[in-house]
Amino acid sequence: MTKAKKEKVNFRNSKRWRDFRVSLLKEADYRCELCGGYFRGKKSKNLQIHHLFPEDYESLNPVDFSVLCSTDHKLVERINVKLLAKKDTLIYKDIWLSLIRRFLPYSTIDYLESKNEEKS
């Protein structure tokens, strides 16, 4: 494990992160912001915190996070990978971006918008 990865894991195990995570879950009323599923009590382990700036993992600005169920979090991550694929699917990218813009890392949005500008 790289030093950076180890530091991120250590941070995510810290009391500061755990308290922040709980505050986000409470703010979202233990609901997935994408599907609206309700995950209170033991089921709250199915909720994950999605960061729009994953490289800046120590930043705890609540507006940079979304609460997603594990299923939707995987979906958002898969879509992110698809959008960054080398295939020329910009027409579909515009549709997908409009649907899930709120959940994509800003770096992905910036990258895709720059690619769209290059095509113009």
Best mean pLDDT range from 24-33, 78-87, 111-120: 24-33
The pTM assigned to this predicted structure is 0.69
Which is higher by pLDDT, 90 or 108?
108
Q: What is the DSSP letter of 47?
A: E
CB-based burial, 50-89: b 16+ in 10 Å, e otherwise: bbbeeeeeeebeeeebbbbbeebbebbeebbeebeeeeee
Which is higher by pLDDT, 118 or 67?
67
